[in-house]
Amino acid sequence: MALDPSSGYVAASNLQDLGEVSLPIFNVERVPFQFAISSDFVAAQVANNVLVLALSTGRILRIDLDHAEDVDDIDLPKRSSEIGIIRRMFLDPTASHLIISTTLGENFYLHTQSRQPKALSRLKGTLESVAWNPSEPTASTREILVGTTDGNIYEVYIEPSTEFYRREEKYLKAVYKTTEGPVTGLWVQSVDGKPDLRRVLVATPESISHFIGRIGRHGHEGGGSVFTRLFETETPTRHDISRVGDAPLAKLVISPEPVDDGGADVFNSDRVFAWLSSQGVFYGKLSDGSSAPGSRSNVFQDSKLLPRSQLPASESNGGRRKASAEPIASIALTQWHILNLIEGRVVAVNRLDESTVYDQVMLEAGQSIIGVEADLKKNTFWVFTNREIFEVVVTDEDRDVWKVMLKDQQFDAALHYARTTAQKDAVATASGDYLVSRGKFMEAAGIYGKSNKPFEEVALIFIDHGEQDSLRKYLLTKLSGFKKSSIMQRVMVASWLVEVFMSKLNALDDTITTKAELSENTNTAETKTQLSQLRTEFQEFVTKYKSDLDRKTAYDIISSHGREEELLFYASTVNDYNYVLAYWVQREKWAEALTVLKKQTDPDIFYKYSSVLMKNASVEFIDILMRQNNLDPRKLIPALLNYNKDVKVSINQNQAIRYLLFVINQHRSTDSAVHNTLISIYASHPSRDESALLSYLESQSQQHERRYDADFALRLCIEHKRVQSCVHIYSSMGQYLQAVELALNHGEIDLASVVADQPDTNPALRKKLWLAVAKKVISQSDGIKTAIEFLKRCELLRIEDLIPFFPDFVVIDDFKEEICTALEDYSRHIDILRKEMDESASTASNIKADIRALDRRYAIVEPGEKCYICQYPLLTRQFFVFPCQHAFHSDCLAKRVVDLSGVSKGRRVRELQAEVSRGVAGPKRERAMKELENHIASACILCSEYAIKLIDEPFITPADDRNEWAL
């Protein structure tokens, strides 16, 4: 059942252009029965996927559509002859409560958990409509409104009961009376989610009334009427019509609950009502916002009438439309359409533009229409005939809503419902064109930026109209929509934006500076505010799109407009601090340059600008350098040397020395270049004070390793006549003689004396140094006494060492005491030597006596004594006995000595043993025997150093008997 192309929204060519496929939104499908039907349907209701059918025989079928095989077959408690046939049924949205009305005015109630309808004894009369409680209870109906054919509206509270004599109705009260005939429609709705604020719609064949107000509180839980207050205190808003012909009874329907698609639909959040009357279908929105308490705005003022004449007529057998239009038998509301039943046809009309989107014949010969019903919970729609059930299947209902919205120039709504990129682009383009036609260029710029309208066409629109601000907004929006891969487009648009920003900034500056005539309602203060806002916008633009800007192009554009602040901001944003620093340095603005430098961590920047900053802002620059941990001081040496050369300050104020000392003392630098540079600056300083240089050299002497180049330092110190430093360096190099000579050559006798005392481990060198000092002292001394007193500082000097240095005319009386003292010392020394000689002679005599006693020394060997190595009798073969009384066979001892001796000694013992065993006679054999005895019998292997080598041998060897060691 395809949609007639003539009834579509857009021509087929347009659909193809948008990449769409024209498929029908509605389709009628016959529902197959799983059970036999023995009689016709007379009424039907559907709610919450539960279908209730009333048969002409008085039976009621209740079918759960989720389990269609389970059918409840329910009979009324009385026969049809007594109560009549079923005329109407009313099923609440939750499918929990069912009210049945018969042709004879009998009414029954059936709960979802019951299979036996209960008669409503209080509620008499033919029912035309029911308004269910908006709280949707399940155990009871709570307060509901029912309308009858005589124009009365009753409030009734129905609660199912198992007690036989208890009535189902807790109370029944008439609350309103119409004068236009039967109450064909009722609807109750909570407003703004407030339970005590209700909206009530009352429909008759000739009018529809709208009540809104507060209900009573005392009627809760069946205690009494709650709607009486509303109907008594509120004046309804009415919409009346004049009856046209013999039209069928009117009908009031409400749209289903909004579909929950994961987000709030702000354009379709209100429920919609439709009232079927003799003039057609009157429909509109039930907006909560316009119905606040106390508001009397007409809810029907924005409603529309869909006349029957606007709907297509049925076709005759010849395929031509009938001249007369059949009345509308029944209606239902979907989310966006009105379903009309007209003489067996289903006609779907879009309620936005009242276009017919579906017209399908579904009634076969011999069938009659009961009506069309909507499941407000499940958003399903059903058409009932006397023999069959049809489902109106809705597919993608809102797919064409955007076209209607676009046609009505509701661009925000059209964009909301547009799905594909082509649809959204069509909406954006149309919206932009509309805004331009109204002169709203700024709004159009944002819309155009999201569309695919040709770039150059849009740009020319803004340029031709002089809308630079709109052009800027358009370019920004367009840039934000480009893909990352569109590198060329992004660079070009971003560069153009820089030009637009700069032009606007200059224009604002010119306006402020020249105080030219401003536009209406504008003053200088406002212009300054605009300038500040534009600068902020430019900064945000640069920060966000810095990667899309070509650096050289951006510099050229900004520089050409003379925008210093923006130029520096851009350079800082792209981390081009070289450019920023170069900019400030060229203008000799050292404070600004140092401010930028404080934020840097790249060592190359510090090296590059070190020379110029050391010269012009040395203190602050050194402060910054001392906070950096990643610098190589060696690369800063040229700048430090240039600074030292150009700037004449004291050593304490010299910033190069300050930095070098920081690197050496704090960072523990071991780089010889750093140390040599510090020595060079110290040595070349005009001041003659060497204390700072000496302090540094002495601190280095305390280190394990000297960090500076001693030869280099020595040359510098000699060149700049730093005598004390030279002497110190000589001393640190161990060149004491040169150090003393240098000190003496410059008259530094005390310094030479200090150096002469330093080689305390070498008395001969120390004496030599002191003799050099003595010679200098004696040659310069005015009195012999003074010279001798000075030379007493070294205990190694004797008067005889000093005599050659005295002049020939010196009288001996001048140092008589010293000579006497020296002679007395010599005398005491001679006595000591004589005593030592006597002791040596006595020791020699004792040694000779001991040697003579050795010839008479002997040892006694017992007959059964054994060798301490092999444990065999000692007397069986040649043996050795030591003074310690240990005895060994000569061969056993020789073998043991070979094992314990070194390689060379062991090899020599074996050679001697071989030589003796060959039987060589004469002196050669005696010499070999004597040498062999000296080797093997030099010491006892159990008492001498041989015993130390046995420390790692166990007491018990595998060859020993362990039982001998048992306790």
Q: Give me the DSSP letters along 329-373.
A: -EEEE-SSEEEEEETTEEEEEETTT--EEEEEE-PPTT--EEEEE
- Under a CB-based contact definition with an 8 Å cutoff, are residues 158 and 97 in contact? yes
Other CB atoms within 10 A of residue 918 CB: 9
Is residue 597 predicted with pLDDT exceeding 90? Answer: no
> What pLDDT score was predicted for residue 138?
82
- B/e letters for 573-593, b = 16+ CB within 10 Å, e = fewer, are ebebbebbbebbbeeeebebb
* Cα Rg of the chain (Å, integer): 62
CA angle 258, 148, 42 (to 5 degrees): 75
Dihedral pair phi/psi, residue 872, rounded to 5°: -95, 160
> What pLDDT score was predicted for residue 716?
85
Q: Helix and strand tally (H, E) in the chain?
A: 34, 30
CA distance 58 to 70: 20
CA distance 382 to 392: 6
Residues of the chain with pLDDT > 70, as a percent, come to 84
CA distance 211 to 201: 6
Q: What are 235-288's pLDDT values in tens digits?
A: 899 998 886 665 556 899 999 988 765 545 666 778 899 999 888 899 999 876
669-683, 794-808, 887-901, 909-923, range with the lowest pLDDT: 794-808
Which of the given ranges, 246-260, 317-331, 593-607, has the highest pLDDT on average?
593-607
> What pLDDT score was predicted for residue 822?
62
Determine the length of the chain. 967
Give the residue from 715, 751, 716, 710 showing the smallest Cα distance to 734: 710
Confidence of residue 9 (pLDDT cuts 50, 70, 90): very low
- Under a CB-based contact definition with an 8 Å cutoff, are residues 867 and 887 in contact? yes
Q: Which residues contact 707 (CB under 8 A, 6 or more apart)?
A: 664, 669, 670, 671, 672, 675, 700
Half-sphere exposure of residue 442: CA atoms within 13 angstroms, side-chain side = 1
SS (H, E, C) 531-544: HHHHHHHHHHHHHH
H or E element in which residue 718 lies = helix 710-719
Owner of token pair 């893909």: 483
Q: What are 676-687's pLDDT values in tens digits?
A: 888 888 888 888
**What separation in angstroms does the CA of 952 have from each of 31, 918, 943?**
108, 37, 16
Q: Sign of the CA dihedral 555, 557, 562, 565?
A: negative
Q: What are 907-945's pLDDT values in tens digits?
A: 888 888 788 777 667 788 888 888 888 888 888 888 887
DSSP H helices in 421-486: 421-437, 441-448, 455-464, 468-481
Confidence of residue 11 (pLDDT cuts 50, 70, 90): very low
CA angle 128, 134, 140 (to 5 degrees): 80
Helix (H, G, I), strand (E, B) or coil at 744: helix
129-138, 636-645, 778-787, 900-909, range with the lowest pLDDT: 778-787
Owner of token pair 């130390």: 948
Helix (H, G, I), strand (E, B) or coil at 686: coil
Is residue 197 predicted with pLDDT exceeding 70? Answer: yes
Whole-number mean pLDDT of the chain? Answer: 81
